[in-house]
Amino acid sequence: MNDPICAIATPYGVGAISIIRCSGHNTLKLVNNVFKGKDLTLAKANTLNYGYIVDDNQTIDEVMVSVFHAPHCFTGEESCEINCHGGIYNTNRVLECLLAHGFKLAEPGEFSRRAFLNGRIDLTQSEAIMDVISSSNDLALRASVNSLRKSTNKLVVNMRSHLVDLISKIEVNIDYPEYDDAIVMTDEIAIPMLHDLIDECETVLENSKIAVVAIHGIKTAIVGRPNVGKSSLLNRLLEEDKAIVTDIAGTTRDTIEGDLNLGGVTLKLIDTAGIRKSDDVVEQIGIERSKKALEEAELVLLLLEPTDELKDEDKELLKLSEGKKRIIIYNKADLKQRFTPLPDSIIISAKTGDGVEKLEKALIEITRINEFNVNDSNYLNNARHVAKMREALTSLKSALKGCEDHIDIDMIELDVKSAWYLLGEIIGDTNSDTLITELFSRFCLGK
């Protein structure tokens, strides 16, 4: 498992320096065999050592080698990083030299996997490393760094600890029935605890929805009949002439996207082709794309004209967007027609900008972005974690239903344990020994 491995850790290309990472059994001895300079096997931990990589008496590169001793380094193994000059050829030559002298080429993610297997980081932290790398805005970065600093781990460990409390109470009751009547046990102990756990899971999942929106942006489709001013609204919100605007109905044929930063959060706006019956093949394809954009959208901006009369297409769009987060907008308010707007709608003029500020406020409100505090640590920002938490919630609900239906407590315990395992999968801890150790640590002395 801890065979010596190495890999180039910097991007492929020419730069100031490139780094080759080495880790595993005998790493320092093996590197020392091709290193001319100080004896690396005697070098102190966390030192930088100047020298040359030499292969068959040929000097390949002038390098600095940082030396780390187990377990106080990323992988938890003896390891080093060779800082080469940042060229492609010389770096590859150093790598080849290491491969010829006892190292294996590391697989993708193998350093992090070893860090995880050696207990240096948990699964959420290894995923956070990837999330940090792929962050594209400040919130995403801060949320990933929080997770790197174990915020997700703490959240999950805390919930699991409540689950262990419940499991231990059930087990004690099975072995030493404090309550002769199992129904009393479930009604007085299990049901209130399960309610608390379910509430906690639901709160975290609800916060996670807001977090995901805040971090990754919300897909927002602008839909409506041709000519209602969808492209004008896109341009107005983005403050640029992104989409073509004309008074010809059917101007927009394909979806047009643009990111709107609102209060530090991204709305991924999608302008769509106007919905109507059309014989034009290109327009028909555009309309299909509009419907798809609407279907996939997390938020819909449905544009109407300022009149009482709803056309069939308007009715169709109102129906298609029902149940979704949506804002109904009457555009062209500057034309000042008398009409009775639908409830909770917003009246604007994309042309003059009137009402657009109100619309922006409504956008922030509907996404509840302003409720999200990246430092709160009561959310999950990784899709896998959210999926596992959802599964755990299903198990907890099943346990609660079991209690309410007065089924055998052993069966209820299975569901509670399943929730414990599922949450464990978030942090990469599904070892039943851990449950046993934790369980017994809660029993009183002598029992």
Ligand X SMILES: Nc1nc2c(ncn2[C@@H]2O[C@H](COP(=O)(O)OP(=O)(O)OP(=O)(O)O)[C@@H](O)[C@H]2O)c(=O)[nH]1
For binding to ligand X (CB under 6 A), which residues are involved?
224, 226-232, 245-247, 249-252, 273-274, 331-332, 334-335, 349-351
Q: Which is nearer to ligand X, 131 or 313 (CB)?
A: 313
In the bound complex, what is the minimum distance in angstroms from residue 351's beta carbon to Mg ion? 14
In the bound complex, what is the minimum distance in angstroms from residue 393's beta carbon to Mg ion? 42
Q: Which is nearer to Mg ion, 350 or 392 (CB)?
A: 350
Which of ligand X, Mg ion, none binds 175 (CB below 5-8 Å, type-dependent)?
A: none
In the bound complex, what is the minimum distance in angstroms from residue 248's beta carbon to ligand X? 7
Which of Mg ion, ligand X, none binds 350 (CB below 5-8 Å, type-dependent)?
A: ligand X
Three-state SS for the chain is CCCCEEEECCCCCCCCEEEEEEECCCHHHHHHCCEEECCHHHCCCCEEEEEEEEECCEEEEEEEEEEECCCCCCCCCCEEEEEEECCHHHHHHHHHHHHHCCCEECCCCHHHHHHHHCCCCCHHHHHHHHHHHCCCCHHHHHHHHHHHCCHHHHHHHHHHHHHHHHHHHHHHHHHCCCCCCHHHHHHHHHHHHHHHHHHHHHHHHHHHHHHHHHHHCEEEEEEECCCCCHHHHHHHHHCCCCCCCCCCCCCCCCCEEEEEEECCEEEEEEECCCCCCCCCHHHHHHHHHHHHHHHHCCEEEEEECCCCCCCHHHHHHHHHCCCCEEEEEECCHHHCCCCCCCCCCEECCCCCCCCHHHHHHHHHHHHCHHHCCCCCCCCCCCHHHHHHHHHHHHHHHHHHHHHHCCCCHHHHHHHHHHHHHHHHHHHCCCCHHHHHHHHHHCCCCCC
Cα distance between residue 135 and residue 132, in whole Å: 5
Per CB under 5 A, the segment of 66-74, 251-259, 298-306, 385-393 that binds Mg ion is: 251-259
Interaction with Mg ion in 29-58: which residues (CB under 5 A)?
none
CA 410 to chain centre: 35
Whether the bond between 71 and the residue before it is cis, its omega within 30 degrees of 0, is: yes
In the bound complex, what is the minimum distance in angstroms from residue 331's beta carbon to ligand X? 5
Which residue of the chain is nearest ligand X when measured via CB? 274
Q: Which is nearer to Mg ion, 114 or 236 (CB)?
A: 236
Interaction with Mg ion in 385-444: which residues (CB under 5 A)?
none
Sheet hosting strand 299-304, strand order edge to edge: 256-262, 265-271, 218-224, 299-304, 325-330, 346-347
Using CB under 5 A, pick the residue from 66, 151, 252, 398 that binds Mg ion.
Answer: 252
Q: Which is nearer to Mg ion, 162 or 276 (CB)?
A: 276
Which of Mg ion, ligand X, none binds 250 (CB below 5-8 Å, type-dependent)?
A: ligand X
In the bound complex, what is the minimum distance in angstroms from residue 285's beta carbon to ligand X? 14
Q: Which is nearer to Mg ion, 231 or 398 (CB)?
A: 231
Q: Tell me if 331 contacts Mg ion by CB under 5 A.
A: no
Using CB under 5 A, pick the residue from 18, 231, 235, 381 that binds Mg ion.
Answer: 231
Q: Which is nearer to ligand X, 251 or 430 (CB)?
A: 251
Q: Which is nearer to Mg ion, 252 or 290 (CB)?
A: 252
Q: Tell me if 186 contacts Mg ion by CB under 5 A.
A: no
Per CB under 5 A, the segment of 24-32, 246-254, 362-370, 423-431 that binds Mg ion is: 246-254
In the bound complex, what is the minimum distance in angstroms from residue 275's beta carbon to ligand X? 8
Q: Tell me if 266 contacts Mg ion by CB under 5 A.
A: no
In the bound complex, what is the minimum distance in angstroms from residue 147's beta carbon to ligand X? 41
Q: Which is nearer to ligand X, 23 or 331 (CB)?
A: 331
Sign of the Cα torsion 197, 201, 204, 206 reads negative
Q: Tell me if 382 contacts Mg ion by CB under 5 A.
A: no
In the bound complex, what is the minimum distance in angstroms from residue 230's beta carbon to Mg ion? 5
The most distant pair of C-alpha atoms in the chain lies apart, rounded to whole Å, by 90
* Cβ(146)–Cβ(122) below 8 Å: no
Pairing of strands 218-224, 299-304: parallel
In the bound complex, what is the minimum distance in angstroms from residue 334's beta carbon to ligand X? 5
Q: Tell me if 227 contacts Mg ion by CB under 5 A.
A: no
In the bound complex, what is the minimum distance in angstroms from residue 362's beta carbon to ligand X? 17
Q: Which is nearer to Mg ion, 173 or 252 (CB)?
A: 252
Cα distance between residue 418 and residue 424, in whole Å: 10
Q: Which is nearer to ligand X, 51 or 355 (CB)?
A: 355
In the bound complex, what is the minimum distance in angstroms from residue 353's beta carbon to Mg ion? 18
Q: Which spans of this chain sit near Mg ion (rule: CB under 5 A)?
A: 230-231, 251-252
